[in-house]
Each structure stands twice: as C-alpha cells, then as structure tokens.
Structure 1
C-alpha cells in the first residue's frame, strides 16, 4: 500500500498545485474563497479517487480537508469534505488484517497490517504535552480526548429541540464530524478485534484508537457514555418530531419562508438519523471492546495501565433503570439484535433474581440467564406477581416485546437450543415455538396478576406475531 506522501512526487508537485488553490483564499470568507475550497476538494477527489492509479493525499492535504470539515463555514463545504474523507478512508484504509483460511488448520495466524506514517484525525498519543482543554471544539486540527468529550457535550446540549433548530449549521457540522470520527474508530477497531479473537494478543486492542480514548485521563468515561445515550435517545425523538412537523406543513399551504425552513429541517432530519446510527455503532464497539478486555483480564494479559472501567452494558442498565424518560426511546432506536437482547435480558434478570446453578450431582434442568429463562419466570401467577412488585407492568411489556423482536431478528445460529439429538432446523423451530408460547403465557399471567393492566400497542404486536408463528409452524 502506498504511503500518503506519494502524491507529493506525482505530476511535478501536485501537492503544491492543489494546496495553492486553498492557500490563495485561506483567510477569506467570500464567494471566491468558497469556490476555491470547493475546487480544492474536487481536485483532491480527482487525483486520489477518480484517477485509476490514484494515490493518497499528503498530510497537509488531509489536514486541509479535515480543517474544512471542522470549521463548517457552509453546509455544502461541510458535506463535501465529510464525503471526501470517507471516500479516502475506504480507498486507502489505515489498518487491515491478513486473510487466513480458517478451514486449514496449518494456515498461519492473521496479522495486523498497518500503513506507516499515516494521517489520523486524532492526537491521543501526544496528549500529555497538550493544553489543558485539549483541541478546542472550534479549532481546525486533529481531535484529542478532551476535544472529543467537548464534541459530545456540545451534541448533548444541541439535542434539545430548541437548541438544535436554532443552530442548524453548527449542529449539522458537529454531527457530521462525529459520524466521521466514528467511521475512523470503526476502521481501526474492526480489524484489530478480529485479529485479537484469533490470536488473543491484547496489545493489538490496547493500541486501538477506541481504547486510547477510553483510558485517557482527560475523559470522564461515565459522563461521556451518559451523554452518548442522551444524544441517541433525544435525537431519535427530535427526528420523529421533525417528521411530524414536515408532514403537517406538507398538508398546508406553505409560504416561501416556510419552504426554506422545511429544506433545512429535512437536512437536519437526515443527518440526525445517521448520527443515531453512528452513535449505536460507537456504543456497540465499546461493548465489544469490554468483552475482549474481560477475556484478556481472565488470561492475565492486561496490566494496571489498562485501568478499570465499568462495562458499558452496566452503565446503560443504570440509566434505563433510573431515567425512565429514555427507556422507550432507547429500545426503539437501539436495534442491533444481539446487544439489544443482552440489555433486555440483563435488565429483567436484575429484578427476577439470579438463576439457579446446576451442580455436578444435579440432573434436573435449570433456567439460565437468557431471554428464554427470563420468560419462564412469568410462567405462573406467583412468580409473575413477585416480579411485577419490582417492575411496572408498562416496563415489563416494553422489555418483553422488544426482547422478542430482537430474538426474532437474531441469525438462526445464534438462537440457544437444548436438544442436541434433533437436527438444527428442528431445534431452531422448537426453540422459536417455545419462545412464542412463553410470550403469550407471560402476557396472560401479567393480565391475571394485574387486572387493570392495559396491553400496549407494542405488546399487542408481539402477541399477534407469536400467535401467527405458532399457527404457521403447527
């Protein structure tokens, strides 16, 4: 893979020629300066993306593109720089893992392939020498850990509907910046985690950008995670509100000024939706890192320098337990089946109680801390009443309905099965029918235990789906 500096020698000084377009208007904020910046972005795209043998931009060119994204002088420039940076990262990835044939036992272990001396939008490695507040959120350069936390705080403040609409350009720029940074985290973390799973070499994850951010002393980890949850849930609610407002305005006689507001709202709506997706991606990566770190700790691969961090799932559970306003929006917007089911199951077991443990001398079946095991705790009136004393019926309905939805969305190979004598298809079908019957039984017992309970629309959907599946599989 070619180094970023390779463009410097192409075409007799192409770097100087392209940067000259930007340098001529760097300190200006005029129409000509705007056009020069657009021309600079298009020149880089032509040289690096469009060209058949395109080469990566140099450090200075990367920094200039990132600076345009961070300054956010206009929506068009912000979008153009955001799109170009993502295109460049796809064309010239910084980190990769070597391909290994897992079916061949003699095949060598995968290795991490990293491009040397590559530009990154982060400066975590030099934080000890950085200023007290780090890279300010309105600066043009790379982001350090305190700068990233400031970005998250600004986004959390902006998710208030009034603030979000009052500062659309700044909010859009910050959301696009966050999306890009998450893409960089992902491009660095995914191959590293894949290599770790095959080699159990914790060092490859210790040196990941994501881990360096989370272990930084400049980051208040719990505060950062709570802000991330707030952003995801409130953005989801705001986007739903924007959709309703746009629908109402479309059904009325809109004035020209209102049309302009609608256009801005549509942009904010789309960017907000993608920011929710990016936030979920960010949280999932942290939860996967937590799992890998726990594995490394059990093997004795971690050191005191790795620090002690509360697993993100526990922080989420605490927030969902004590902040009732975010439970429903979180379950609606967080749609990754595996981790959504994990959160639901842990929430339920937090109140149901620890499952029984099978001893070596015991041959009796036991409930495990799974969704299926949790459902069995609603299989009779006594246990149902006991649980409803600890959790409100509305909360239980949300958890069961979303848990059922997540379970149905899981790939068949991830469904737990017990009968190993049957074929995989038979076991999967049997497990699904049992889950459906238990869902119906749980709602029935809750209605019996709490006669005034009204079944939520989501609960009715779950019951209809369960009954349909049972009927189809019978």
Structure 2
C-alpha cells in the first residue's frame, strides 16, 4: 500500500518567523543572475544562508523541514558553487536534509500492522521524471531553468564525469569537476533512498508497481537516454577515477609538479577522496540497476509486468560485453567493485562465456549446476577444457578471475549469505561447504599449472591458493 502525505508546516511562531527570515533571502540565492556572482560578499551571503538553514532545520532536535524553495536554493549553490567551502557545505547540508527529512520511507500501518510506503508530496526532488508522457513542454522547460535533472541531464552529467576520468591530473584539478562529482553523489543518494523503500515494499507485496514507479526505473526508461551508452560510461568512469587514488595511472602527468602553483592545494587534497567516494556512488548506482533488472525478470516470470514496461538489456550483459572487448579494464573493475554477491555473479557469467556448454535434455529443467561457481570450477578438471579456456583467455586473466571469485565467495559465506538467505543469488552460490569450494579452487590452479608449465602464479592467486589450502587443512 502507498500513502501520500503532506508536510505540516504549522510549527510554533518562532519557527515560522525563522523560516520567514530565511525565505526572504531564498529568492535572491536562486536568482539566475545572482547565483553566478563570485564576489566575496556573495560567497558570505550564501554561507550565511546555508548556516541559517542548518540551524533552523538540522540542529534542533525537533527542527522543521525546510521548504522546497529553501532546499532548491541549497541545491543551486552546489550546482553553481565555485569555492570549495561552498561546494562542500551545500553538499553536506543536502545530504543531512535528505537523511533527516526523507521524501519516501516505509512505515508500519496503524491499522493492520502491515508496512506502508509513505511519500511526502511537498518534499523537494532534484529530478523531473514522470510516467506521464503528456507532460507539457512548458512545464519541462520551467523546471529545467530551476536546475532540475531530467533523464537527459542526468546522462550528460555522467558523460562529463566519464570524459574527465581519463584526463590528466592538472586538467581535473578544478572545483567544477569536484562539484560535479559531489552533485552526482547527492543524486545517487536521493535515488538510493527511493530505491530502498520501494524494493522493500516490492519484496513484501510482490506488487511490481512499487518498482515501476522507482526513480531509477523512470530515468532509464526515458527515450531521451541511450541506456547502453550510459551504462558503459558508468563502467569506464569507475575504472578511470580508480587509477588515481590507487596510484596506478599509466602515464605520468608531467604538469603535476607545477599543479600546486596553478591550483588550489585544498582542491587537490579533496579531489582524491571525492574520486574514491564517486567510484563508490557509481558502484551503488550499478548495483541498484542490477537489482531492478533481477526483480523485473522475476516479475515478468510471474506475469506482473505489461508491455508498457518495455524491454531493457540487463545491465550485467552490458558489463560482460564491455569487460570482454576492453579487457584492459578488467583488473581495475575487479579491484574497485567490492560487492561480493554481484562480483561473484559477474565473474561466473564471464567465465561461462569461455567454458564448454553442457548438453541439455528436455528433462533438464530448473537451474543447472554448471551455471554456479562450483560448475565453473569443475570445468577446470578436464585438461582439454582448460587448454581451450587458456586459448580464449590467458593464464593471467584466469588467475585473476578465479582468485576474485573465491574471495567474493568467502566474503558471502562470512556474511552467512547462503542459499535461502535474503539478498543471496542462489544461481551462483552452491549449497556445498566452503571446504568443497576450496578443494576445487586448488584443483583449478593445479590444472592451470599442468596445462602451462611456465605459468607464474600472481600475488592475488597465491593469496587465494594459500587461503584455500588453510581452509582444507583445518577442516
């Protein structure tokens, strides 16, 4: 069940007076001419405004929610901010408002005790998405002028991040790029709040409407977005930004030694951390999309979807294709992508592209063991199969995939995400013990040694082998 609520802004007299004083300055903050002023007085005014909103809404234990115009003004400061102080302060305040006054949440019904999806109608939203294809062009243009993100604008933001991800350090060392990364992180936080509430209700009720109206689903369903290109850009942004804070950028930037003379040192210090958190936000977005894909597949099998839901290539297929054709980004992706459930799923599906396919009969209904991690490991028990896999891949890539898959499997078992547990993908995790998996991992590496006498086990491969050996010896 979904319930729409309105915000009660009839607080005490003092609260209304404070809000009135703040709103008196709001229109000046969001004015298209004023927002781009870069004088010290303008900066001080904006900092005072942010502090006033924080004191009125966040600091008090029973603070009143800021109005739409107040939140919009904070958002405009983040979008147009040219100083590190303004960018960071507005970003932090927006996230505090999102956490303190969520637009959507799940609550227990006062009647029968069943959960309800509560949507606050008056809450401000940085997106303009709708299932109503007849929304007027005039309304759309009006909202664009307010800096809101439509599907195309969201795509353009990610495109900009993808383009900058592979630029030199000095080219990326500016507040605009840093501000765009924080802007993206905030938008993902908003999407996550909406997604978590809706997928919780979907799993509880199996009502596909909850996810059909999910913000992410509506963004990706727009015909204005090239979905495949957008997802590729997300993947390459993660891999590009990861190079810097991991210290593995291939080409040294000769201008870096002069960067401190030309750029704000504070921005340089903040940039590495913001790049790391942007990678995490991008991973969060990717995982949410894959969860929606999996839920949609389930809903489709149950006959809950309609033709209006359209068809969309599952994101995991796009990731597999991209990692196949641009294999040089595979090590970076596996290093940065740290969700064990989806990492294991991706690796298993990647290896299945190169292993021998089993012969299926008409009685072969239901999931096949060959599609699990154990099934992939068993394909390495056959010498001819191993030689075939090595020809298609190479021993370095195979080691990398096996090691990361084993470590992801161990992480899942340590979290007790075994078959039947919430959030577990039973198509990948086997019911066999970790000891059995460890034996098969060790056997797979031995098969690689036998097939290639000159093989050199990588450091990650040695770590996986040592761990597997220890588990077997202590069993």
TM-score norm. by structure 2 comes to: 0.86
1:305 aligned onto 2:312 = no
Equivalent of 1:76, from 85, 94, 98?
85
Per-residue CA deviation, residues 152-197 of structure 1 (Å, 9 max, x unaligned), is: 1110111023277445211101000000000000000101001101
Question: Which residues of 2 match residues 320-339 of structure 1 at below 5 A?
Answer: 320-339=323-342
1:441 aligned onto 2:443 = yes
1:14 aligned onto 2:18 = yes
Aligned to 1:181: 187
Aligned to 1:150: 156
**Take 1:150 and 1:256, find their aligned partners in 2: how far apart are those partners?**
28
**Structure 2 regions of 5+ residues with no counterpart?**
421-429
Equivalent of 2:42, from 18, 33, 42?
33
Question: Which residues of 2 match residues 283-298 of structure 1 at below 5 A?
Answer: 283-298=286-301
1:122 aligned onto 2:131 = no
Equivalent of 2:55, from 20, 34, 46?
46
Residue aligned with 2:105, SS: strand
Structure 1 residues 4 and 451 mapped into 2: Cα distance closer, same or farther (>3 Å)?
farther
Per-residue CA deviation, residues 42-88 of structure 1 (Å, 9 max, x unaligned), is: 11111111112201100110110111111122111111111011111
Aligned to 1:66: 75
**Structure 1 regions of 5+ residues with no counterpart?**
101-105, 247-253, 418-426
Structure 1 residues 392 and 133 mapped into 2: Cα distance closer, same or farther (>3 Å)?
farther
Structure 1 residues 12 and 375 mapped into 2: Cα distance closer, same or farther (>3 Å)?
closer
Structure 1 residues 181 and 366 mapped into 2: Cα distance closer, same or farther (>3 Å)?
closer
Aligned to 2:425: none
**Take 1:140 and 1:162, find their aligned partners in 2: how far apart are those partners?**
32
Residue aligned with 1:48, SS: helix
Q: Is the 8 A contact 2:15 2:64 kept in 1?
A: no
**Take 2:439 and 2:235, find their aligned partners in 1: how far apart are those partners?**
33
- Give how far 1:98 is off: 2.7
Higher mean alpha-carbon deviation, 371-380 vs 41-50, is at 371-380
Q: Is the 8 A contact 2:58 2:96 kept in 1?
A: yes
- Give how far 1:10 is off: 5.3
**Take 2:107 and 2:370, find their aligned partners in 1: how far apart are those partners?**
38
- Give how far 1:433 is off: 1.3
Question: Which residues of 2 match residues 19-418 of structure 1 at below 5 A?
Answer: 19-23=23-27, 27=34, 28-99=37-108, 109-125=114-130, 128-130=135-137, 141-162=147-168, 165-241=171-247, 257=260, 263-355=266-358, 357=360, 367-412=369-414, 413-415=416-418
